Amino acid sequence: MTHQKDPGEFDALMTKDWAVFRGDDIVPAGPTTEVPGAYANATLDIILPPGWTSVESGWPRIKGNSFRINNPDRLFDRPTGWFIAGKLGTRRAKVGKTGIAVSAPQKSGSNVWKS
């Protein structure tokens, strides 16, 4: 759902073809109880609406639209950072040893996708 913070400033934006949102907002915070030495292996599986092609985030992709969530700074592994999902175009490149991905809605009128 679109959420406008201030005029022209959003922390979530959704259309019929795509959405941009924060991972913190899709998995609410919750109380945790931990046992010394325990650890978690968390994954996030995203099911897209019909016609949507992909989802991108800064988390490592396991396969398809599944991501490994590992945040050692938190007791409860929640996805953080931005996600984009929908009918997307994505370009990937490597700069040194760092992988870079830039995604945007298809047919968004941007010249980024033109060679």
Give the domain extent around 56.
19-26+38-108
Do the domain assignments include residue 93?
A: yes
Q: How many domains would you assign to the chain?
A: 1
Tens of pLDDT, residue by residue over 9-25, are: 777 888 899 999 999 88
Reply yes or no on whether the pLDDT at 39 is more than 90. Answer: no
Q: How confident is the model at residue 110 (pLDDT cuts 50, 70, 90)?
A: low
Do the domain assignments include residue 82?
A: yes
For residues 62-86, average pLDDT: 89
- DSSP state, residue 48: P
Classify 39 as helix, strand or coil.
coil
Do the domain assignments include residue 3?
A: no
Instruction: Output the average pLDDT for the chain.
Output: 84
The shares of helix, strand and coil residues in the chain, as percent rounded to the nearest 5, are: 5, 45, 50
* pLDDT for the residue 114: 42
Predicted TM-score (pTM) of this structure: 0.79
Q: Is the CB of residue 11 less than 8 Å from the CB of residue 24?
A: no
Q: Report the alpha-carbon distance of residue 52 to residue 103 in Å, rounded.
A: 14
